[in-house]
Amino acid sequence: MATPTDTRAPTDTFAAPHPQPTSRPTIGRQLQVEFRAVGRAFVRADRRPHQVIRDVSLTIAPGEVVAILGPSGCGKSTLLRLTAGLDRPTSGAVCIEGSPVRGIDDRSAVAFQEPRLLPWRSLAGNVALGLPAGTPRDRGAERVAQLLALVGLDAFAEHRPREVSGGMAQRAALARALARDPGVLLLDEPFASLDALTRMRMQDLVLDIHAAAPTTVLLVTHDVDEALQLADRVILLGSEPDREGATIREILSVPGDRPRDRGSAVIAELRAQLLEGLGVSRHAQPAPPPIPTAAIGLAH
């Protein structure tokens, strides 16, 4: 195991944590998110407007996990940034519990593809940055310790980011987001840069966190299987012919309790449907057995 003076990153020794109820931090806020005809246009270098997102309307229930899929550049991160208050819509509104998001506020927290940790701070110090302003020192230290335990990093609290693996750094970033006790957890491809095994472990971690306290989660991903494993509903963003700007093309409800059987016929059919929506040929997929249509909720 690495010591704080090691410069080598230890391998990710993570096993999905199973925290005892008494050690669980309170990460229980669940807030509703509503997109009301949301649009975002940017101004190009030639000063012409460039509509990236248009007419996105959707209500996400408190505690629901929603995954956003779509081709690269279609506006997934833009939608997430609007929800986080890092950007403002040019039309419509993003509301949390019915009130518009007008800037960064403590109702939501974001984790990005890169952990974005401060290199000179320990993992504990980085997680502490997520604590709400004014958290008493004792309470803050206790909460950071609980969160590090939740993500399986309690033995690495004093390590610097360069002393841990990419997966561990990403778990620290997740703990930092949770430190805010967000009612809405926003994840922008948080596991995209990790190897396949670590990514699956991180997905299990999200399931554990959500089982411990079912916070509303909005997850942007390129990974169809990740979406089908984690989400209650999968939103497919895309553009329509002759119309600028992406909007919601499909909404798929994913049946079944999590963790789900990745090999089930229902999941195979949904996967094929999503890949087709993303423009990937069905012929590339093994033909799944037919499933009852009642098992799939499809809108749009």
Question: Given the complex with ligand ATP, which of 3 and 72 has the nearer CB atom?
Answer: 72
Q: From the CB of 71, what's the least distance to ligand ATP, in Å?
A: 7
Q: Does 239 bind ligand ATP (CB under 6 A)?
A: no
Q: From the CB of 291, what's the least distance to ligand ATP, in Å?
A: 29
Rounded-to-integer distance, Cα 29 and Cα 44, Å = 39
Question: Given the complex with ligand ATP, which of 179 and 185 has the nearer CB atom?
Answer: 185
Question: Given the complex with Mg ion, which of 78 and 215 has the nearer CB atom?
Answer: 78
Question: Given the complex with Mg ion, which of 32 and 113 has the nearer CB atom?
Answer: 113
72 contact choice in ligand ATP, Mg ion, none (CB below 5 to 8 Å, kind-dependent): ligand ATP
> Which string of x and - marks every residue 55-84 that binds ligand ATP (by CB under 6 A)?
---------------x-xxxxxxx------
25 contact choice in Mg ion, ligand ATP, none (CB below 5 to 8 Å, kind-dependent): none
Rounded-to-integer distance, Cα 173 and Cα 119, Å = 12
Q: Does 244 bind ligand ATP (CB under 6 A)?
A: no
Site residues (vs Mg ion, CB under 5 A): 77
Question: Given the complex with Mg ion, which of 213 and 278 has the nearer CB atom?
Answer: 278
52 contact choice in ligand ATP, Mg ion, none (CB below 5 to 8 Å, kind-dependent): ligand ATP
Interface positions with ligand ATP (CB under 6 A): 42, 52, 70, 72-78
